[in-house]
A and B are shown apart, each in its own frame.
Chain A
Amino acid sequence: MKKTLRNFALVLGGMMILSPVAQADEFNKQDVETWTREFMAAVEKGRAAWVDGNLGTNGVACAQCHPNAADTHPETYPKYQQQIGRVVVFGEMINWCIINPLEGKALALDDETLIAMQAYARYERRGVALDPGKH
């Protein structure tokens, strides 16, 4: 039994050293390019939705109150939203704005547009430190 275990450990160790498949955290140049391209495509789609008067029903766009997604603080979610009375994700807060100031219908939380809008807001807040209690 001991021997089997030792052999197994040796084989596993050998796999970790020799096999490139085992090095799951490697993020090469191509991966970075893919990541950036996909994320920025979502940012662009999110920006388009952010300024779109047709997202709701009354022609009001998110950017009217939140130019450059300012005062949205996406980095602070999920958080307890006292006015809603529970911990919510950022997408739920965007939905609140779509329903109320924009007089529209909430999007599904996995809706592509809603995800893109979150990517856009997060992008505009890049480099801002998570500063609990300040935002």
Chain B
Amino acid sequence: MAENTTRRTVLRNGVALVAGACLPITSVKLAFGGEREDFTFAYISDSHIQHIRGNKFVRNWDRGLIRAVAECNLMNPRPDFVIYGGDLAQLGKKSELDHGFEMMAGLNNFDVHYVMGEHDYYLDLGEYWSEHNGPQYYSFDHKGVHFVVLNSIIVDDDWTHNTWKDGTERMGVMAGLDDPRGSPFMIGKKQLKWLKNDLKKVSKDTPVVVCSHSPIQKIFKNWNFWTEEAEDIQKLLKKFDKATVLYGHVHQIQYNQIDNISFHAVMATAWPWPYPQSYVQAESHLPQLTIPMNRANPFFERDATGWQYIDINSGRASVNYSLPQNKSRTVAYDPDKGHPVDTTYQEAGLTLPQKRY
């Protein structure tokens, strides 16, 4: 898929961030010249594995993750590693996490870097998840790129520790996206300080990729498409020539550009969310750049998970979404405009590619 990308193009343009590959995983290609080596990694997110009873789990959510794992194993070129974007479980139960990890173990010898989602966290404050995965926020370097994984779904101590009779009640409230008793997501002072220190040692020409569960943007508070310290984190990313934020949680195509920072949401393997503006009783701010996906067809259970392939001729993201039962879409970086555009629909004034009756 990247055969026609020359080393020179890549060198000139620096980081190429590409969300791509097959349904329902998202593959990301970072291409470099000079001392850096091209590589790809895969991105799987939001499987919401849900326990019914005994050995029964919700079939549809299971199928999404099983398919993602199978397609990841078949990808060519083989990704260097996999990032899991959070919300592996639905209610944070051991049974759900174990079942999810077991399905993820079907990956053929890949290193997996896990991001914490609120559904993995609020039953036991991430204890069981951490036993399996280690720290809840961390960074690592890979072939010249600095990766930062944040736990962006924590909230204040009073809500967490003093409001609910037990972890099950707390988890139940946070699992309801539209539950008014929830609380806005944040990374907190301690983690922000850690992030500041972590980024201090990274030179400005090193590409930085931040992986978080919630968007590091303020899109829609009602459903926590939101991170409280978004501006503070963006400020820390400003000094880098190329910074990218990849996030899950929103279960839909979103893209944005703020200063030098490119934002891309990854698809869920479980189900699509409606876009925030479809709920008119609360104010929302979907990035103006984003042309929304069509409303999903509920009669086709994998609809609105989409599948994507890549063109990185420009050295920047060019994401081709093949959406089942919908027209294909291409979102590509426009160097004149300095941000990603939908190559067909951007100029049409936010007109959806297809209306669903």
From A10-18, A26-34, A38-46, A77-85, give the one contacting chain B. Answer: A77-85
Bound CA–CA A96/B299 (angstroms): 9
- Of the residues A57, A68, A82, contact of B178 by C-beta under 8 Å: A68
A63 touches B176 (CB 8 A): yes
Chain B residues within 8 Å of A83, by CB: 297, 299
Contact yes or no, B177 A133, CB < 8 A: no
Across the interface, which residues of A come within 8 angstroms of B271, CB to CB?
Answer: 64-65
Which label, helix, strand, loop or mixed, suits the secondary structure of the B interface? Answer: loop
Q: How far is the CA of A100 from the CA of B297 in the complex (A)?
A: 13
* Chain A residues, Cβ within 8 Å of B60: 101
Given contact pairs A80-B357, A127-B280, A71 touches B274 in the complex (Cβ within 8 A): yes
Measured between beta carbons, the chain B residues less than 8 angstroms from A124 are 279, 281
| Contact (Cβ within 8 A) A82 B357 | yes
Q: Report the separation of the CA atoms of residues A67 and B301 in the bound assembly, to the nearest whole angstrom.
A: 18
Q: Tell yes or no: A134 within 8 A of B by CB.
A: yes
> Is A67 in contact with B178, judged by CB distance below 8 angstroms?
yes
Judging by beta carbons under 8 Å apart, are A59 and B278 in contact?
A: no
- Tell me if B274 and A67 are in contact (CB < 8 A): yes
Q: Which residues of B (60-105) have their CB < 8 Å from a CB of A? A: 60
Q: In chain A, residues 105-135, which have Cβ atoms closer than 8 Å to a Cβ of chain B?
A: 124-128, 133-135
Least CB separation from A65: chain B residue: B271
| Minimal beta-carbon separation of A97 from chain B (angstroms) | 7
CB-CB contacts below 8 Å: B173-193 with A? 176-179
Q: Is the CB of A133 within 8 A of B176?
A: no
Contact A101 B298 (CB under 8 A): yes
Pairwise interchain contact A63-B297, C-beta atoms closer than 8 A: no
**B297: which A residues are within 8 A, CB to CB?**
83
- Is B58 touching A70 in the complex (CB atoms < 8 A)? no
Q: Is the C-beta of A7 less than 8 angstroms from some C-beta in chain B?
A: no
Q: Kindly state whether residue B326 has any CB partner on chain A within 8 Å.
A: no
Contact in complex: B280, A128 (CB < 8 Å): yes
CA distance A126 to B279 in the complex (A): 10
Number of interface residues of A (CB under 8 A): 30
Q: Which residues of A contact B222 (CB under 8 A)?
A: 68
Check if A60 sits within 8 Å of B177, measured CB to CB: no
State whether the Cβ of A37 lies closer than 8 Å to any Cβ in chain B.
no
B223 nearest CB neighbor, chain A only: A67
Distance A27 CA – B281 CA, assembled complex (angstroms): 27
Given A64-B271, A82-B357, A133-B357, do A71 and B177 touch, yes or no (CB 8 Å)? no
Which residues in B have their C-beta under 8 angstroms from that of A80?
357
**How many of chain B's residues have a CB under 8 angstroms from any CB in A?**
31
A59 near B58 with CB under 8 A, answer yes
Q: Which residues of B contact A126 (CB under 8 A)?
A: 281
Q: In chain B, what residue has the closest Cβ to A84?
A: B299
Shortest A133–chain B CB gap in Å is 6
B176, B272, B296, B357: most-surrounded residue (chain A CB, <10 A): B357
Of chain B, the residue at the smallest CB distance from A134 is B355
Whether the pair B274, A59 counts as a contact (CB closer than 8 A) is no
Given contacts A64-B271, A79-B357, contact A59 B178 (CB under 8 A): no
Residues of A within 8 A of B274 (CB): 66-67, 70-71
Separation of A51 and B280 alpha carbons in the complex (Å) = 20
Q: CB distance A59 to B298 under 8 Å? A: no
**CB-defined interface of B158-178 with A at 8 Å, one 1/0 digit per residue?**
000000000000000000111
Contact among A51, A59, A96 with B50 in the assembled complex (CB-CB below 8 Å):
A59
Does A58 lie at the interface of the complex (its beta carbon under 8 Å from any beta carbon of B)? Answer: yes
Interface residue from B51, B272, B279, B298 paired with A68 (Cβ < 8 Å): B279
CB of B273 closer than 8 Å to a CB of A: yes
Contact B52 A58 (CB under 8 A): yes
- Chain B residues within 8 Å of A71, by CB: 274, 278, 295-296
CB atoms of B177 and A67 under 8 A apart: yes
Q: Which residues of A contact B278 (CB under 8 A)?
A: 70-71
C-alpha spacing A79/B357, complex, angstroms: 9
Interchain residue pairs with CB less than 8 A apart (28): A51-B176, A57-B52, A58-B52, A58-B58, A59-B52, A59-B58, A60-B50, A63-B177, A64-B48, A64-B271, A65-B271, A65-B298, A66-B274, A67-B177, A67-B273, A68-B279, A68-B281, A70-B274, A70-B278, A70-B279, A71-B278, A82-B357, A83-B299, A97-B298, A124-B279, A125-B280, A127-B281, A133-B357
A residues near B, CB below 8 A? 51, 57-60, 63-68, 70-71, 79-80, 82-83, 96-97, 100-101, 103, 124-128, 133-135
Report, nearest first, the 10 A-B pairs whose CB atoms are least far apart. Answer: A67-B178, A71-B274, A70-B274, A83-B299, A67-B177, A70-B279, A70-B278, A68-B279, A68-B178, A58-B52
